[in-house]
Homo-oligomer: A and B are copies of this chain.
Amino acid sequence: MITAFRKTAETFATGAKTLEQSYFVSPEIFAEEQEKIFSKQWVLVGHQSQIAKAGDYFVAKVASESLIIVRDKGGEVHGFYNVCRHRGTRLREDRNGHLSAIQCPYHAWTYGLDGRLLGAPHMDEVPGFDKADYPLHAVNLASWEGFTFVSLAESPTPLEEWFAPLAGKFSHWNLPKLCSAKRIEYDVRANWKLIFENYSECYHCPGVHPALSKLTPYDAAENDLATGPFLGGFMPITKGNSLTMSGNACALPVGDINAEDFHRVFYYSIFPNMLLSMHPDYVMVHQLWPRSPERTRILCDWFFHPGAFERADFHPNDAIEFWDMTNKQDWHVCELSQQGIASRSYQPGPYSPRESIPAAWDREYLRYVS
């Protein structure tokens, strides 16, 4: 939703155009993205508040892989492939829950929350069988600002190194302590990159988002991150106190927000699958999961201050309804773009000066895919 910037000459590469058709429809490029981006980079899978207690777990799907993200008895969080080492059976079917151990539903092989094989009936009769050889397969897992990221790469860049450019930038937002009040899942018939390109400009706001445009002027964005994997900035809230149906704040401030930021919304895209939208009173986070060249699963969470939940002035639906409406407006135009881009008549079109962030996102993306 962020328009480009104010000083055209500085950052707008004159003549930037949209990506070629194949990036939106080709199964080969989709497979390349899945391999080089979603199976290699750090991708967002959730927030530590989802697995607050030992034994809490949730299941995430990354690059067609089902993963169990679980907090062990020592408080450490692990990520495992959701696959038994015996005959390959899916271990957990539910989306989340609480466990004392991970037992396979087929032949009852049992694993600890740290992945070690603890029990395997009758396998002691097999000469040379050693349980230590059959732990669950692990994936790399790390945390940034309370958000949980995994990487299927063997030896990924350490997460703190990847996020070094953002060190401390969001600390006053209190992100590690927030809790989600609601998750909505969307199934969008559009390429995942169209979602990023849509999020990264407000040139479309007047026609697509009449309600949003009343609260925040489409052409008033200021971007402080204009190149690289992290992009975005803020837009002023010029009417009301937050982006809600009522225009009022709907909860306690999420963190130590300064006076100026009380009338700003911060929008950042975190490559490759996170959209981070920080309002004074809540934080919205989108996870993007490509399903095919022409289809994306989106998980959207609304996070609030943990102290907000029990108070009389907590009205989370005021924010959730506002963005659920706005999200659907966005997904619809992304679906229309997907349809048109598949035409033989499609040619890359010219980005306007208000679309410098989509152009920057495209450039970053092209560093990963041939």
- Which A residues form the contact surface with B (CB < 8 A)? 8, 14-15, 18, 21, 64-66, 81-91, 93, 105-108, 120-123, 125-129, 134, 137, 152, 197, 203-204, 206-208, 333, 336-337, 339-347, 349-350, 352-354
- Provide the bound-state CA to CA distance between A126 and B346, in Å: 21
CB of A88 within 8 A of CB of B18, answer yes
Contact of B125 with A353 in the complex, beta carbons under 8 Å: yes
Q: Which residues of B contact A206 (CB under 8 A)?
A: 108
Query: B88, B121, B345, B354: which contacts A81 (Cβ < 8 A)?
Result: B345
Q: Are B93 and A336 in contact (CB under 8 A)?
A: yes
Asked if B90 and A126 sit within 8 Å, CB to CB, the answer is no
B336 engages A14 (CB within 8 Å): no
**Alpha-carbon separation in the docked complex, A226 to B349 (Å):** 49
Given A107-B204, A206-B108, also A91-B340 (CB < 8 A): yes
A352 touches B106 (CB 8 A): no
CB distance from A62 to the nearest CB of B (A): 11
Known: A350-B126, A352-B125, A353-B125. A340 touches B107 (CB 8 A): no
Question: A350 and B137 in contact (CB under 8 A), knowing A93-B336, A125-B8, A336-B105?
Answer: no
Given contacts A8-B125, A93-B336, contact A343 B207 (CB under 8 A): no
CA distance A226 to B15 in the complex (A): 57
* Cα of A347 to Cα of B127 in the assembled complex, Å: 20
Contact, CB under 8 Å: B345 / A83 = yes
A–B complex contacts, Cβ < 8 Å, 12 sampled: A82-B340, A84-B349, A89-B333, A90-B339, A105-B333, A105-B336, A106-B204, A106-B337, A107-B204, A121-B203, A123-B352, A137-B345
Chain copies in the assembled complex? 3
**A340-B207 CB under 8 A given contacts A121-B352, A345-B137:** no
Most buried by B among A14, A107, A207, A208: A107
Contact status of A90 and B337, CB under 8 A, knowing A85-B349, A108-B207: yes
**Chain B, Cβ-Cβ closest to A81:** B345
Q: Give which listed residue, B81, B134, B342, contacts A343 with CB less than 8 A.
A: B81
What is the CA–CA distance of A181 and B339 in the complex, to the nearest angstrom? 31
* Contact between B203 and A349, CB atoms less than 8 A apart: no
Q: How far is the CA of A343 from the CA of B39 in the complex (A)?
A: 13
Of A89, A105, A354, the most chain B CB neighbours within 10 A belong to: A89
**Are B88 and A343 closer than 8 Å at their CB atoms?**
yes
Inter-subunit contact B123/A90 (CB<8 Å): no
Given A106-B204, A333-B106, verify A346-B121 contact (CB < 8 Å). no
- Assembly CA distance A206 to B206 (angstroms): 63
A207 proximity list for chain B (CB < 8 A): 105-108
- Evaluate contact between A89 and B337: CB separation under 8 angstroms: yes
Kindly identify which residue among B82, B129, B333 contacts A350, using a CB–CB cutoff of 8 Å.
B129
Structural contact, A122 and B353, CB atoms closer than 8 A = yes
Task: Give every chain B residue within 8 A of A106 (Cβ-Cβ).
Answer: 204, 207-208, 333, 336-337
